[in-house]
């Protein structure tokens, strides 16, 4: 039996250890290595009567009330959220993570979202992720968009889609910064210089849940992106990475397959803050051979980051409700 699926057969009891066990393979799902605390008092979560056609039935009981929720994919994590809520994470093999928000008081589904590499902030206020990748497009055809979801608000308040192709996107687009502040399409057809690639193993939060960093690239231009939430609203900053500051040596003067593996945040000192970034060359999509860089840690300062220029994307011409003629099917996040 799949290990992630087998974890569902261990009922959650009222302890932090139980909630952590369901997400031990993905600690970032529940806000990092600390995870969250016990489930709401009087609530237990376990498998339902069985699984059929790839579905998993979660049974929730609280006091004398009982409810069951059917989800389409095996669960890999269940976490308690503030406000008497749960969030479940599942995967179906297409690279996307499917998430359900559940009310622990009414035992009802209150929201659904899908994306890649979701990471909850340590205070459980925010969830950052890559956008949902359509199965008909490979990642080289689908430029990245990074989204921030407010877990204190409902799905309607988080909805941002403005085109038929992005109509069900959910969360605020934080990078690339769109012009004029509205989400744009992420499908094929963009000029090569507009394509973004995710260049990090994950998103990395500071413990105060005020800052999250990751890496992104456009062609051979690698950048560190920092999202600040000190004002309660996301502010996007970026800093281009000079390879000579990261690599012991480079061969041929080309950009190696650098991937960010971690970040350590120093204290805030006035208007500045130092962040130490860890790197590896383990990028399976890189055309450059291992050992062409031999990266070391890079310490960056907040004062060296700048606001990126908004990007303007010309709408892609295609048949309505298709991705280059392929019928469009994306998750319904309107619940």
pLDDT for the residue numbered 318: 55
Tell me whether residue 259 is in a domain: no
Beta strands in 108-155 (DSSP E): 109-120, 126-130, 146-150
Whether the CB-CB separation of 263 and 277 falls below 8 Å is answered with yes
Please provide the average confidence, as pLDDT, over all residues in the chain.
74
The rounded distance, in Å, linking the Cα atoms of 297 and 315 is 39
244: nearest Cα among 287, 296, 286, 201: 296
**Paired strand residues for 103:** 85
Mean pLDDT of 191-216: 92
Counted domains in the chain: 1
Q: What is the DSSP string of 250-296?
A: -STT-----EEEEEEEEEEETTEEEEEEEEE---TT--SPTTSS-B-
Tell me whether residue 20 is in a domain: yes
Query: What would the two tokens of residue 206 be?
Result: 């500071």
pLDDT for the residue numbered 30: 76
Residue 135 has pLDDT above 90, yes or no: no
Tell me whether residue 38 is in a domain: yes
Residue 278 has pLDDT above 70, yes or no: yes
Mean pLDDT of 22-42: 57
Tell me whether residue 218 is in a domain: no
Residue 53 has pLDDT above 60, yes or no: no
pLDDT tier at 269, thresholds 50, 70, 90 = very high
The rounded distance, in Å, linking the Cα atoms of 38 and 18 is 8
**Using CB atoms within 10 A of its CB, is residue 303 exposed (0-12), middle (13-18) or buried (19+)?**
exposed
**pLDDT tens for each residue of 206-227:** 999 999 999 999 988 999 999 9
Domain that holds residue 15: 1-88
Tell me whether residue 199 is in a domain: no
Tell me whether residue 211 is in a domain: no
The rounded distance, in Å, linking the Cα atoms of 260 and 201 is 6
What percentage of the chain has pLDDT greater than the value 70?
62
Q: Tally the C-alpha atoms within 13 A of residue 219's C-alpha that lie toward its C-beta.
A: 5
Q: Where are the alpha helices (DSSP H) in the chain?
A: 3-6, 16-22, 155-158
Q: Any idea which residue has 């041929």 for tokens?
A: 252
Tell me whether residue 82 is in a domain: yes
**Which whole-number Å values give the CA distances from 182 to 161, 166, 169, 175, in the listed order?**
8, 11, 11, 11
pTM of the model: 0.80
Using CA atoms in the order 274, 280, 283, 289, what is the torsion angle rounded to 10 degrees? 130
Tell me whether residue 35 is in a domain: yes
Residue 52 has pLDDT above 60, yes or no: no
259: nearest Cα among 288, 227, 229: 288
Handedness of CA 88, 92, 97, 98 (dihedral sign): negative
Whether the CB-CB separation of 102 and 86 falls below 8 Å is answered with yes
More confident: 166 or 79: 79
How much is the CA Rg of the chain, to the nearest whole Å? 21
């Amino acid at each position: 039996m799949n290990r992630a699926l087998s974890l569902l057969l261990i009922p959650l009891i009222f302890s932090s250890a139980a909630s952590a066990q369901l997400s031990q393979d993905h600690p970032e799902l529940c806000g990092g290595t600390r995870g969250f605390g016990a489930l709401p008092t009087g609530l237990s979560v376990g498998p339902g009567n069985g699984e059929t056609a790839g579905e998993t039935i979660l049974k929730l009981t609280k006091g004398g009330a009982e409810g069951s929720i059917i989800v389409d994919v095996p669960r890999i994590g269940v976490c308690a959220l503030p406000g008497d809520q749960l969030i479940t994470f599942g995967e179906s093999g297409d690279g996307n993570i499917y998430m359900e928000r559940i009310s622990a008081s009414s035992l009802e589904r209150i929201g659904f979202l899908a994306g890649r590499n979701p990471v909850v902030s340590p205070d459980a206020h925010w969830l950052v992720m890559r956008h949902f990748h359509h199965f008909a497009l490979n990642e080289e055809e689908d430029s990245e968009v990074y989204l921030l979801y407010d877990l204190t608000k409902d799905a309607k308040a988080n909805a941002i889609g403005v085109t038929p192709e992005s109509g069900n996107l959910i969360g605020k687009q934080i990078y690339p910064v769109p012009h004029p502040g509205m989400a744009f399409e992420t499908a094929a057809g963009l000029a090569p210089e507009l394509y973004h690639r995710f260049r990090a193993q994950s998103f990395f939060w500071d413990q105060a849940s005020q800052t999250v960093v990751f890496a992104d690239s456009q062609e051979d231009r690698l950048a560190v992106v920092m999202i600040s939430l000190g004002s309660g609203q996301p502010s996007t900053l970026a800093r281009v990475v000079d390879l000579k500051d990261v690599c012991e040596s480079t061969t041929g003067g080309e950009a190696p397959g650098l991937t960010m593996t971690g970040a350590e945040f120093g204290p805030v000192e006035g208007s500045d803050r130092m962040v130490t970034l860890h790197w590896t060359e383990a990028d399976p999509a890189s055309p450059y051979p291992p050992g062409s860089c031999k990266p070391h840690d890079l310490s960056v300062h907040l004062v060296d980051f700048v606001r990126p220029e908004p990007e303007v994307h010309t709408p892609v011409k295609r048949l309505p409700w298709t991705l280059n003629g392929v019928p469009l099917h994306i998750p319904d996040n309107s619940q």
